[in-house]
Structure 1
Amino acid sequence: MAFSQLQDFIYKSLMHGIIKIAHARGKKIFSSDDAVQRTPKDRVEQLASKITTLVENYSSPNLVRAPSEQAKLEEDASDIIDEIVLLEKDTQVLLEEIGMLRVLASLGLTIGEFTHETRHVLSALSAGILSLKMSSPAAEGFKTLQGNIESLQAYMRYFDKAVTQNSQRSLSVHEIRDLLSDFEQVVSSSLQRQRVNLKIEVKGYDLFVQSSHKPEWASIFFNLFTNSLKAINRAQVAGSILIVAGEVDESRLYLEFIDNGDGISDANKEKVFDAFYTTSTPADALADDEVHITGSGLGLKIIKDIIEDGGGDIYLSVPPEGFSTCVRIEFPRASDEEIPDDLR
């Protein structure tokens, strides 16, 4: 029941985004839609034509104009100014809508990863309960059961916080240590269950990223984390993930997500941030919904858009010895004016 409601929520969120994009582009979705309005491109082209005509009229060698002609030129100039003002307002609306669609995309990514991870936890929880029913209760069995329940609760809190913060749409500065600490706490159970070692190295202090949405950082970390887990699983090695953060210079910070999975071939390094490209095993027609969601190839494209929209950059870097993949993020550092006194 809960999963069906989650699927319905994702579907409605995506449809809302599709309809918004279509309307912004002046395209009809349903046959009952009103006539298509002029697109911003059409309006700009028409505005440019008006300006060209106006300049040609003003540069005419006939400097002496009749009052009616002068009034017409002034009316055209006024119309152009009004259209520019309207275009500026409409552009701001479109930018705000694009920002909302990006947040919806990051929220959908978080939901997809959440359902994927809780599926494993719930399976282990069910197996634990069945084991206790078939045998006499043992202290070790109860301990394992308790760990699975706590893991599920951690993911639930993580998801609930992401939804709440996305709905508030508040921008704030964040210290990298705080972001990584919250993330590490949530994934600790998954790391233990899959026997993967995580090491975090933060070099320097007061590493505040510029004002941004905290749930977007959760989406970034979680997607990189699940990609690493899948790469490690394919490589069938003792998993190791290393996260290194520090400062590039006074204006930028960096974060590197490193793992010892099966790596990325040279031929594919230029494609990993493209939409629908995935290194995961292709999902077949009978695969579960979670497999389709997490293997869609949209994760890295979404986080690339999030980071670049904030003025940052994400790319593949050379991994240190003993590792196979390094994803490096560089992001603007918060200015002194942006950092609240209570965080200093």
Structure 2
Amino acid sequence: MVAFKLLTAKPIVAGGTLNGKLIVEAKKDTKAKELDVKFLGEEKIQIAHAVSTGEFVMEETKKQTKQLIHEDVLMHDVNRIINGNFGLLPAWTYEYAFQIPLPSELPAIIVVPKIFRPDTQKVRGPLDVSKGEVTAGAHTDDTILIPGQQITLDLGIVNDSKATIKEITVTLVERVDVAYPNFGNPKYTKEITKDLTVSEVAVDDTYCAKKGSKELKEEKKDPLKSERNYQLVAEQLSSGNHLVTLPPVPEDASDSYRYASDLLKVSHEIDVRFQTKTFTSNPGFRLPVAIRRGRAAESVDASDLPVALAEAISDLDTIDESVPTAIATPINSSKGGLEYR
């Protein structure tokens, strides 16, 4: 009996390179001619909708499949062992490392920016009275995350309002969009949000000092104020003076790449909120992130191999890890598959 396992070293990203290992575990000595592995990456979409036939309303399902990757690979190192043992694969665990460049046009992959362009929001008090504006932006080294990873944001803030910013709250938010078909009419979508991790940071008054009414009136007439504020935020981001680190991403967090339907979508965002005094609005912004699941490949110590098998492997040429062999599993409405023979 022969069992197969596939390990990927990092999440799958459109236009990137997928690295991983194929583990072939022979439970016992097995007769074989050669081992041929077929790697397939497919996008599969299934759409269901109601169809009227007069007396009855039936559900009709349409399926569409698009092949993204198809590679047939002979595992030369294992096949040499089989040939050297006269058609017998010795019982042991074999590894085959692979790399594959993924297409840049993988469907349903969202390119997430690492820098949030500075944005300006009004601060409002009771009766919707304007208290001025706050300009802010953020930078992060990684917006494609895996469970257990910590997120660090570099923030830049220019406070042109009468309100004092007491603290900054940074939250990793999970958003679930549920769509309900309405008898052929446009779908009604309901949004459900859940806070996964929260980090609160006290703010120095000198960093976000509020301004008086006279200053605000003078700056309101300045046509270049917005551009200067954007420049100040950019300088703060490059200096790294205000870093916020969130707790690790929960182990069960993941985007909805495993769903093949538009009825349910799971996404994640980092919500940055500037907390002001009571009865004053809290300006802020959201930075989109993606959460992928991945497992690191584990190595096997060659010294643990049986002597005869270790000698057979030592005679093999170095495995060419540039051979493009892998599975591409796009996000949302996509699945990957393997076929062995």
Q: TM-score, normalization: structure 2?
A: 0.19
Larger Rg: 2
Higher helix share: 1
Higher strand share: 2
Q: TM-score, normalization: structure 1?
A: 0.19
Relative contact order higher in (CA < 8 Å, ≥ 6 apart): 2
